[in-house]
């Protein structure tokens, strides 16, 4: 299950190219339908189910739709999120709640409804997209950082609870990735745009990442290959979390 722009779109396309039957779940219908069309053009299988992941009934509906369309659910890529700027002082209570609802509760709800379906088939693999910001704080992102830190902890809890049911749950931590989310964060936070990508120098590789580079790691973790990996927190960050500036 996937989304309609950025890392989600790149992942849905890559998964379908590699034979997955994909459900794209997003609040953005136009973006989702565009991704479905792109996948169909390549000869892949995908459907769009309009879903606000922060709403319990919509998360359940999305899982039900996947089961009725394809008969079973093997994988969940829980990747929806947004990234407003602000310290705790200038983040409104409403914005704090919305960040937690989408970035943390959204993953909880999608996993809550997906895990029973995976138990039915006796196996499953889940990947959640957190962020390097969930382990290393940067200024002016308090709610986002808290939501991603919470998500990392939730992934470990689910990994422990469901390991003996043959369901693996892992987490990826992207660095700065060239997507609409990154572009709007760069604009809102006033990062200087002269001389290339803001934040490029903070990555050991001296550049930001591309959505396809994150999709490759998500696909590996979702695949049957990493049979002894669960509860792992995997940076996909060009060395951002390794470098000391």
Active site (annotated) includes residue 240: no
Report d(CA 197, CA 191) in Å as an integer: 9
Smallest distance, Å, CB 164 to ligand NAD?
28
198 near ligand NAD (CB under 6 A): no
145 near ligand NAD (CB under 6 A): no
Residues 6+ apart with CB under 8 A from 83: 141, 144, 181, 184, 185
**Which pair of structure tokens corresponds to residue 14?**
């890559």
Report d(CA 48, CA 1) in Å as an integer: 9
Of the residues 70, 144, 182, 240, only one is catalytic, namely 144
54 near ligand NAD (CB under 6 A): yes
Q: Residues 44, 84, 150, 174: which binds ligand NAD (CB under 6 A)?
A: 174
Q: Which stretch binds ligand NAD (CB under 6 A): 21-29, 88-96, 111-119, 163-171?
A: 21-29
Q: Is 226 exposed, middle or buried (0-12, 13-18, 19+ CB in 10 A)?
A: middle
End-to-end, the C-alpha distance of the chain in Å comes to: 37
13 near ligand NAD (CB under 6 A): no
51 near ligand NAD (CB under 6 A): yes
Report d(CA 150, CA 100) in Å as an integer: 9
Q: Residues 115, 177, 217, 221: which binds ligand NAD (CB under 6 A)?
A: 177
Q: Which residue has the tokens 């930001």?
A: 208
91 near ligand NAD (CB under 6 A): no
Query: Which residues of the shown chain bind ligand NAD in the complex (CB under 6 A)?
Result: 3-8, 26-28, 31, 51-54, 79-83, 102, 106, 129, 131, 174, 176-177, 179-182
Q: Would you please indicate which residues are annotated as catalytic (active-site) residues?
A: 144
């Amino acid at each position: 299950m996937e989304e309609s722009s950025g890392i989600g779109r790149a992942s849905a396309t890559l998964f379908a190219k590699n034979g997955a039957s994909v459900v794209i779940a997003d609040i953005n219908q136009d973006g989702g339908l565009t991704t479905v069309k792109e996948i169909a053009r390549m000869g892949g299988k995908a459907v769009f189910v309009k879903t606000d992941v922060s709403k319990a009934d919509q998360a359940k509906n999305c899982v039900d739709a996947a089961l009725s369309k394809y008969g079973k659910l093997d994988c969940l890529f829980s990747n929806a999120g947004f990234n407003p700027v602000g310290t705790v002082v200038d983040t409104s209570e409403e914005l704090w709640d919305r960040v937690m609802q989408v970035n943390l509760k959204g993953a909880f709800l999608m996993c809550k409804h997906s895990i029973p379906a995976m138990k039915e088939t006796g196996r499953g693999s889940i990947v959640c997209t957190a962020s390097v910001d969930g382990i290393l704080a940067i200024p002016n992102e308090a709610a986002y950082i808290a939501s991603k830190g919470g998500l990392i902890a939730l992934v470990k809890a689910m990994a422990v609870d469901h390991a003996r049911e043959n369901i693996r749950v892992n987490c990826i931590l992207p660095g700065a990735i060239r997507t609409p989310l990154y572009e709007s964060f760069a604009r809102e936070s006033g990062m200087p745009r002269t001389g290339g990508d803001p934040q490029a120098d903070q990555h050991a590789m001296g550049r930001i990442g591309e959505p396809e580079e994150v999709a490759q790691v998500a696909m590996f973790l979702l695949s049957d290959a990493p049979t002894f990996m669960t509860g792992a927190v995997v940076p996909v960050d060009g060395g951002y979390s390794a470098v000391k500036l």
